[in-house]
């Protein structure tokens, strides 16, 4: 090409306002990865497709670069401010370095639009804009002929909604192409379809999703469909654009990045070429008689036909006859491509906006990985799959659903359809906030109890002051964390890149629900759910000294050797002290209220009400008395007395049997025989039998109240009989007079009962608070830090458990066998762990094991919702929590009577862990796997315990029926043998545990470090296995289905589409992120060779 040098020099010297962009850049030529010279600063001016390079702003142009047949590559790290121009001619690349990141991005966009192709894109967009303006003018002209009143009622444009079932996607369709034309006759096409949406109100083209790549055919049939979730704003007037691309260079397609605005088409030189496109209205597809459109694909100028594309409307539950004929002839020979994972690329294929925000790249991969998780729990609730009654309560827990649609062939040449749905849960933040609030109240109450111990000897008083000071610091930390969580806005889950943030340490990582709805032509519809979450662990505190399992064991050993400084109480005694204090705080107000009701019934002279009040008072008082039968209270009172200044022991205690204590309660029937005791003496003699007398007085007072009530009722009955025979009116007057007598006779007895109970409460509270003082003083500050760590891990584990229970309850409301199992035996919760036993992950596994074990102390209770707030309510204390799950009235009526009456539902959590990554290979070769073996063995015993309870209390027909029923006893024995075998990376343990869980109606969890790669690889493989084994997936399509589900979507995402930024817009991302299976099954022999070679290189380097 020939140029006029004078004209170019004149153009370069024009005023600044005449150029598209200008500024300082450092420039040099690059061959491969090596720069020919050091970058030199140049003044650059861009005009059209000409880039002028000048030494300074006033000098002449020293070089002119023609921006044709080249592409822009931008480096996407946070610190890099450089871009490279690559030329198809093979000449050296041009390296451009800007002064700042924003300047670099601006130059990248300007250079990307500077060639003739960019000009053609602008012309094309202008043509579209002109057509849209013409359409708007036509509608405006039509409005001029309407009456003014009718025009006013029109207001904003009205769009026609699509009719759909509640909670179902608005629109779903599948795609297939025929007769695609290649650029050369002998080329085999590797095609995919990019789906974009034109919103009728905004007239903006938004990239939505894309299919998988189908290789080696001109008639591709795509297994991945397109689905729009229920809240997506799509109408009959919405237009959908389908663009077909041919992938030329598959390796470069995921590496090169062309910085383009959202409405621009990618250039053909980025590893793929544009074949054709077409557009259709949603209303045309929905209203078509055959629910199908056959569209013609044309080139961008609209002149050449390059094939056809078929769009089939999909409705779950409906099948077309003969649909498999196409697949048996064409699809068997097609090859499907799974993209390389995003982490293996230097820069992903993203949109311009997302390219400008590289810090979101890692956070995007979390959500992409989450979308791939398999759904491995069958839920038999056909009547409730799309019911409207459970929508409000489910919507209160789940949000931001993302859907994917697939169609896979079955072994009998029919189509089955699979809808995959992922949803966040509001419980990720709700449960931890409720839990922290309970911790704050419990710790404040404990601190007050320590202050109420009274006067102590100097040694113990100093110890108490130190403990209270440390407890106040921890309390302040909890309060600060709760305040920070209250300020949180944005997404309702914590991404893996935030796992080290202190303010979010109570929040579970990547907690999501994964659901798969399978519709087979000859089988019953099925739902499979799994909860995926990062391993519950204290990431902020780190794992330098191990996890909770090791730290608790070490702490307990150190406490035994504390010497004279404090009194050692075992963990069992400490837990008993906490239980006694909890019972006191719970029962004392109940007894007081029932005593007041008894007096009220006496004043009203109501015999029936008096009997009921006495019955409730007796039950609660007996529970109160039995709560202090433990020897711990007596010994703690003695220890507390010795801690007082100037204590003197009167005589040794004589143990009394429970039979003797019971006899005292029976023979005492009058309040005059009860001698009131003073508070614990400080400078006087202490009788160790004093507590027995004080404690027994409560029972004696209750017996006095019971005897008096019986006497009053007996007299009332006899007087009624006598007076009724003589004079009825006189009997009524006698009753009125007797009402006052009842109250006057019961009042002193009730007051005595309250006083005795208050005396017991004061002494018991002080003694149990003294026990807690010893626990805290023996391990400051380690004790409080371990409590904090345990609270953090438990909070993460509990949030997932609550989510799993609520989802399981909603999907199984019509399964009477499951509901019977729930209140008779309890719910099995199986955690599948994929953590290694090497380095930090060993500490995570220790945290996770303790956190899941602590879930045994959680009970659930189902209540009827009294308002529109369906979020669960958490009550209780450490070591004992009750989760109240609220259901709407219509759903609550479906429950068995036992559950409706408030029966507490037990949980049986079990954890089976098998490390599968390369770090586990190191642990098996050079480390220790004892931790994993012990955890699996312990949880096998728990699983056997649940199985024995199940077989004892439940009929055999309650088990879910699969096509081939295996004997559960045989599966357990097989699991036992595999755990005892201690084979390396024995994934058979996971398969067996998951199978047993499904057969026992359990809830399935899958966890790894961040609930991304390993979690996704494991559960997607299991998902496809379920489709093959339970739904007759065609054996030749197993790998294709697996690749399709594990693929990373070709196309682009906008910044607003990043689910982890908390700004989910209408354009839902459907991208995926996975490593190949081979990366998880690393050969141990190759790894050893790699280690030897690395060691040799290190030795050679430092010699």
Residue 108 three-state SS = helix
For tokens 């109450």, the residue is 445
Residue 516 · residue 527 · CB < 8 Å: yes
β-pair partners for 513: 423, 531
Continuous segment of H or E residues that includes residue 13: none
CA 279 to chain centre: 38
Range list of β-strands (E), 390-445: 398-409, 415-425
Q: What is the 3-state secondary structure (H, E, C) of 299-353?
A: CCCCCCEEEEEEEEECCCCCCCCCCCHHHHHCHHHCEEECCCCHHHCCCCCCCHH
From 44, 1008, 1024, 1044, active-site residue = 1008
Q: Are 419 and 169 in contact (CB under 8 A)?
A: yes
What the block records as the tokens of 266 is 């990618």
Residue 121 contacts residue 264 (beta carbons within 8 Å)? yes
CA atoms within 13 A on the CB side of 483: 6
C-alpha distances (whole Å) from 1004 to each of 25, 52, 800, 827 are 56, 63, 11, 11
**CA 835, CA 841: separation in Å to the nearest integer?**
6
Structural element, H or E, at residue 682? none
Q: Which of 696, 328, 374, 398 is nearest to 532 (CA)?
A: 374
Interatomic CA distance for residues 885 and 872, integer angstroms:
5
Show the tokens assigned to 52: 């002028």
Long-range pairs, 590-594, Cβ under 8 A, ≥24 = 590/620, 591/617, 591/620, 591/621, 591/624, 591/754, 591/757, 592/754, 592/757, 594/620
Orientation of helix 840-854 relative to helix 930-953, angle to 10°: 20
Q: Residue 499: enclosing H or E segment and its boundaries?
A: none
Phi-psi category of residue 725: left, alpha or beta, with phi > 0 → left and psi -120 to 50 → alpha? alpha
CA 1039 to chain centre: 29
How far is residue 1103's CA from residue 1097's CA, in Å, rounded to a whole number?
10
Place of tokens 């007050």: 448
- Crossing angle for the helix pair 690-726 and 631-642, to the nearest 10 degrees: 130
Cis peptide before 781 (omega within 30 of 0): yes
Cα–Cα distance, 980 to 514 (Å, whole number)? 32
Gap between the Cα atoms of 1019 and 1025, Å rounded: 10
Given a contact cutoff of 8 angstroms between Cβ atoms, the answer to whether 854 and 794 are in contact is: yes
Residue with tokens 């061959």: 31
Helices (H), 778-929: 782-811, 816-824, 840-854, 889-892, 897-900, 918-926
- C-beta separation of 211 from 407 below 8 A: no
Q: At 957, is the secondary structure helix, strand, or coil?
A: helix
Active site residue 1008: yes
Closest CA to 829 of 1052, 968, 1002, 703: 1002
Active-site positions? 1008
């Amino acid at each position: 090409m020939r140029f006029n040098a004078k004209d170019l020099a004149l153009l370069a010297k024009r005023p600044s306002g005449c150029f598209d962009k200008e500024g300082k850049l450092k420039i040099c030529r690059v061959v491969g990865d090596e720069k020919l010279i050091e970058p030199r600063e140049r003044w650059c001016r861009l005009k059209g497709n000409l880039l002028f390079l000048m030494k300074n702003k006033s000098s002449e142009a020293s070089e002119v670069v023609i921006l044709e047949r080249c592409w822009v590559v931008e480096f996407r790290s946070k610190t890099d401010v450089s871009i490279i121009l690559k030329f198809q001619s093979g000449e050296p690349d041009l390296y451009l370095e800007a002064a700042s990141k924003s300047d670099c991005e601006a130059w990248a966009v300007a250079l990307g639009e500077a060639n003739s192709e960019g000009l053609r894109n602008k012309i094309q967009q202008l043509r579209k804009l002109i057509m849209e303006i013409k359409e708007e003018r036509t509608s405006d002209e039509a409005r001029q002929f309407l009456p003014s009143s009718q025009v006013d009622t029109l207001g904003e444009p009205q769009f026609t909604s699509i009719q759909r079932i509640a909670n179902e996607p608005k629109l779903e369709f599948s795609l297939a192409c025929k007769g695609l034309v290649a650029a050369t006759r002998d080329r085999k096409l590797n095609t995919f379809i990019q789906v974009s949406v034109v919103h009728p109100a905004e007239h903006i083209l938004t990239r939505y999703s894309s299919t998988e790549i189908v290789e080696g055919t001109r008639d591709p049939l795509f297994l991945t469909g397109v689905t729009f979730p229920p809240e997506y704003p799509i109408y009959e007037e919405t237009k959908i654009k389908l663009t077909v691309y041919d992938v030329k260079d598959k390796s470069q397609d995921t590496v090169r990045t062309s910085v383009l605005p959202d409405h621009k088409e990618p250039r053909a030189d980025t590893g793929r070429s544009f074949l054709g496109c077409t557009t259709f209205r949603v209303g045309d597809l929905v209203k078509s008689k055959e629910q199908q459109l056959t569209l013609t694909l044309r080139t961008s100028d609209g002149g050449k036909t390059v094939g056809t594309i078929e769009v089939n409307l999909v409705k779950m539950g409906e099948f077309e006859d003969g649909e498999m004929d196409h697949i048996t002839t064409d699809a068997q020979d097609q090859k499907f491509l799974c993209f390389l994972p995003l982490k293996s690329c230097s820069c992903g294929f993203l949109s311009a906006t997302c390219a400008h925000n590289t810090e979101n790249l890692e956070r995007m991969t979390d959500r992409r990985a989450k979308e791939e998780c398999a759904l491995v729990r069958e839920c038999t609730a056909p009547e409730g799959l799309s019911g409207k009654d459970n929508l409000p309560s489910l919507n209160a827990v789940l949000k931001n659903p993302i859907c994917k649609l697939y169609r896979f062939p079955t072994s009998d040449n029919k189509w089955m359809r699979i809808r995959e749905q992922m949803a966040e849960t509001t419980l990720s933040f709700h449960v931890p906030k409720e839990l922290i609030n309970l911790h704050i109240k419990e710790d404040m109450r404990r601190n007050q109890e320590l202050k109420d111990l009274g006067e102590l000897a100097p040694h113990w008083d100093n110890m108490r002051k130190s403990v209270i000071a440390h407890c106040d610091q921890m309390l302040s930390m909890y309060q600060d964390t709760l305040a920070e969580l209250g300020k949180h806005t944005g997404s309702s889950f914590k991404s893996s890149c935030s796992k080290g943030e202190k303010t979010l340490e109570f929040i579970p990582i990547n907690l999501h629900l994964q659901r798969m709805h399978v519709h087979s032509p000859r089988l019953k519809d099925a739902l499979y759910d799994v909860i995926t979450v990062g391993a519950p662990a204290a990431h902020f505190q780190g794992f330098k000294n191990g996890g909770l399992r090791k730290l608790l064991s070490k702490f307990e050993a150190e406490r035994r050797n504390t010497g004279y400084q404090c009194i050692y109480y075992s963990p069992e005694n400490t837990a008993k002290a906490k239980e006694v204090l909890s019972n006191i705080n719970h029962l004392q107000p109940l007894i007081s209220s029932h005593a007041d009701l008894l007096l009220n019934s006496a004043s009203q002279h109501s015999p029936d009400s008096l009997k009921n009040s006495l019955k409730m008072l007796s039950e609660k008082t007996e529970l109160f008395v039995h709560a202090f039968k433990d020897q711990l209270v007596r010994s703690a009172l003695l220890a507390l007395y010795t801690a007082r200044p100037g204590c003197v022991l009167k005589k040794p205690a004589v143990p009394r049997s429970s039979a003797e204590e019971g006899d005292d309660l029976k023979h005492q029937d009058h309040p005059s025989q009860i001698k009131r005791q003073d508070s614990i003496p400080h400078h006087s003699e202490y009788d160790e039998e004093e507590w027995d007398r004080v404690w027994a007085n409560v029972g004696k007072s209750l017996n006095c109240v019971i005897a008096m009530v019986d006497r009053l009722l007996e007299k009332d009955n006899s007087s009624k009989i006598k007076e009724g025979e003589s004079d009825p009116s006189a009997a009524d007057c006698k009753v009125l007079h007797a009402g006052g007598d009842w109250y006057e006779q019961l009042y002193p007895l009730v007051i005595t009962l309250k006083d005795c109970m208050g005396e017991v409460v004061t002494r018991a509270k002080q003694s149990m608070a003294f026990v807690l003082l010893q626990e805290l003083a023996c391990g400051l500050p380690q004790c409080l830090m371990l409590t904090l760590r345990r609270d953090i891990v438990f909070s993460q584990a509990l949030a997932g458990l609550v989510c799993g229970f609520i989802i399981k309850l909603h999907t199984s409301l019509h399964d009477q066998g499951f509901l019977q199992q729930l209140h008779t035996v309890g719910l099995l919760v199986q955690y599948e762990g994929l953590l290694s036993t090497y380095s930090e992950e060993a500490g995570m596994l220790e945290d996770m094991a303790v956190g899941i074990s602590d879930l045994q102390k959680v009970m659930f209770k189902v209540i009827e919702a009294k308002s529109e707030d369906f979020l669960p309510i958490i009550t209780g204390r450490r070591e004992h929590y009750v989760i109240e799950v609220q259901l709407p009235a219509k759903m609550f009526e479906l429950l068995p009577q036992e559950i409706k009456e408030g029966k507490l539902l037990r949980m049986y959590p079990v954890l089976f862990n098998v490390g599968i990554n390369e770090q586990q290979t190191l642990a098996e070769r050079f480390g220790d796997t004892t931790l994993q073996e012990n955890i699996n063995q312990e949880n096998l015993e728990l699983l056997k315990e649940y199985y024995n309870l199940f077989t004892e209390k439940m009929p055999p027909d309650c088990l879910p029926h699969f096509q081939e029923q295996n004997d559960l006893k045989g599966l357990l024995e097989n699991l036992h043998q595999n755990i005892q075998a201690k084979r390396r990376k024995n994934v058979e343990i996971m398969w067996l545990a998951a199978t047993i869980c499904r057969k026992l109606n359990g809830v399935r969890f899958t966890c790894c470090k961040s609930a991304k790669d390993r979690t996704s690889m494991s559960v997607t493989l299991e998902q496809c296995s379920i489709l093959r084994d339970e739904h007759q997936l065609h054996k030749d399509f197993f790998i294709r289905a697996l690749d399709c589900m594990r693929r990373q979507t070709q196309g682009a995402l906008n910044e607003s589409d990043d689910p982890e930024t908390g700004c989910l817009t209408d354009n839902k991302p459907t991208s995926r992120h996975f490593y190949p299976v081979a990366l998880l099954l690393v050969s141990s022999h190759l790894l050893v060779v790699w280690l030897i070679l690395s060691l040799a290189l290190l030795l050679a380097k430092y010699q």
